Structure 1
Amino acid sequence: MRWLRTIATFGSIVACSSRQFPLPLPVGGIPDSTYDELVRFTKFSSAVYQFICPRPLGSTLVESFTSIITDAHGFVARDDETREIVVAFRGSRDLEDLLTDGNVILIPYESPGVQLNSTEPIEVHAGFLISFNSIARTAIAVVQEQLESYPNYTVVATGHSLGGAIASLASVSLRVHFPSARIRLFTFGQPRTGNLGYADAVSELLGNANVYRGCFLLSISPEYLTDVHPLYSRSHLDGVPTILPESWGYRHHATEYWQYMEPPEPSTVRRCSGQEDPSCSDSIGQHSSPV
């Protein structure tokens, strides 16, 4: 049944890498405050999977939205204590999501109200972009309404797996639509979402200091995101971040935060360098993931 769960999470099975553990462990560690934020937004990424979640992490649920065509789903919540507007996107769950995941061709990034100017092509996963665009107008409109009432709040896009890819695309759209707002991005188990041009665009538009791409040596399946501890993981590799290979034209954007050993704590999470740090998740090679 594990291979079925692989399909349900991402939509395709990729041959396992021949690399075996143990791998050389990177040195590092992150501040407690950064770790706490990773934990916090892991919980938001879990909340969006729930059928009923009227107050995500005690915040105000502003609006939920779902596309009947693509099954893309998310919500906008407002946390008045932290002064944040959180836009969370759900990962793969239904048949429509499998079709989204399997549409792996790279196409130009085009989204309602967004025009990116670059000397190099900015291309993204077709399925992810179609999924985001199916709910983009609603999400942007809700955020705009909130920023009109709370102009000094930070906007945070977040999501797990497929939801992480959609959140990444959303963060670019949010940056273009709201140039004066602070936009941050927290994703968990995000697959490669676009090409080098897209990876560079994320860095240029958001700034690497505002991008937190959580990647875990072991997987954080949605039902385990808030079990015992949000960053605790199960006994297998999370292959989703590696499942779309660079040989297909894909490239991760910065900045990766890699939990490389148990137990999960600030000292076992590393802030990686650049887009594809060979000493972080890229070191485990391409493999399937039974999450």
Structure 2
Amino acid sequence: MFALPFLLALSASLPLAFAAPLPLFGINFGSGSTADGTPSAVSQSTVDSTLLRPAQFARVAYCSPASVTALSCGAPCEAINQVKVLTAGGDQGETPRFYVATDPQTQSVVVAHEGTDPDKLLSIANDAEFAQVAMNATLFPSAAKGTLVHDGFQKTQGRTADIILSTVKSALSSSGFSRVLVTGHSLGAAVATLDATMLRMQLPSSVEVDSVVFGLPRVGNQQFADMVDSLFPTFTHVTNQKDPVPSVPPRFLSYQHASGEVHITSVNSAGDGTLVACPGQENDVSRTPV
């Protein structure tokens, strides 16, 4: 057991669905490959070096655009007070809140997306919008034919794609940084995964694009999951105990998680917990009671 400061930072403002029972539509059955390796323990140093900062950024995305721009949202903004916010927006409706900033601490351009209420996210992921569609050829020019993604998630990502892409390009040029970090929680994690994919396809290979997201629902089909694996060797999506959101949309509708899951197996009242890194795609071990 060790301290999970990033989880505490998130839990102060993010609507995580702790210990929620898995609904029928979240059951993992159907097509797609499932990993059968053994999870490995995640160290405190790994939490501090790779998960804490993205979690702090994801937390701030829930604040109003005005308070993010002014870094006046209290404790969330205080944790990242050295960043320079370049743009912030969103209406908490069709366009969830988002921002782009430069972070001198990590020498990165940061893109962060707000999530949504878990019940609303589960509804979006399983209602009529669960249909899979081809990826937008303009935003994702190297996506191969047959690579399909969730219609509602792609529409949401498309509403801010142009401003995010242009702002990131400008920020890389003005800052001299050569790394982009994309993060988000819940619906924001799905949008962030699509943003990271877009940025990897649109930016020069000399720019490192990393994505660390939290409570990620399934975004696309097996071909999409394989593409994410090939584009991002270090893609990380953190799942929390029995949170149902990562289990939707269901696999029998041809949805598949990419590799890179880090699963929180337990957390106590003091904020101490355990994490494991799960091998491959679709880890049944992370969906069983601990």
TM-score band (shorter)? 0.7 to 0.9
Over 3 Å counting, the alpha-carbon distance change for 1:93 and 1:169 in structure 2 is: same
Q: Are 2:75 and 1:50 equivalent residues in the alignment? A: no
- Of 135, 149, 154, the match for 2:160: 135
Number of the residue aligned with 1:268: 274
Which structure has more RCO (C-alpha within 8 Å, separation ≥ 6)? Answer: 2
Match of 2:10 in 1: none
Q: Which residue of 2 aligns with 1:182?
A: 208
Residue 245 of structure 2 is matched in structure 1 by 240
Distance 1:155 1:86 in 2: 6
146 and 77 in structure 1: CA distance in 2 versus 1, 3 angstrom threshold = same
Number of paired residues?
A: 244
Q: Give 3-state SS (helix, strand or coil) of 2:99's partner.
A: strand
| Pair 1:41-2:66 in alignment | no
Q: Which residue of 2 aligns with 1:224?
A: none
Moved over 4 A (4+): 16-19, 93-101
Equivalent residues of 2:58, 2:185 under 8 A apart? yes
Q: Structure 1: where are the runs of 5+ without partners?
A: 1-5, 20-25, 218-236, 285-291
Contact 1:30–1:269 (8 Å) recurs in 2: yes
- 1:29 aligned residue: 41
Q: CA RMSD in A?
A: 2.9
Give TM-score scaled by structure 2 length.
Answer: 0.75
Q: Please say if 1:84 is aligned against 2:108.
A: yes
1:149 aligned partner: 174
Per-residue CA deviations over 1:97-143 (Å, capped at 9, x if unaligned) read: 7885441101011153421243x611000000000011100000000
Length-normalised TM-score, structure 1: 0.75
Aligned to 2:223: 197
8 Å contact kept, 1:112–1:136: no
Contact 2:132 2:220 in 1 (8 A): yes
Contact 2:183 2:189 in 1 (8 A): yes
Residues 160 and 94 of structure 1, relative CA distance in 2, 3 Å threshold: closer
- Structure 1 residues 67 and 126: alpha-carbon distance in aligned structure 2, compared to 1, 3 A threshold: farther
- Are 1:280 and 2:286 an aligned pair? yes
User: Which residue of the partner structure matches residue 251 of structure 1?
Assistant: 256
- Contact 1:14–1:243 under 8 Å retained in 2: no
Letter aligned with residue 34 of structure 1:
T
Partner of 1:74: 98
Q: 1:68 to 1:17 in 2, by over 3 A?
A: closer
Q: Quick one: distance in 2 between partners of 1:205 and 1:44? A: 22
Residue in structure 1 matched with residue 232 of structure 2 by the alignment: 206
Identity %: 25
Give distance in 2, aligned partners of 1:64 and 1:17: 33
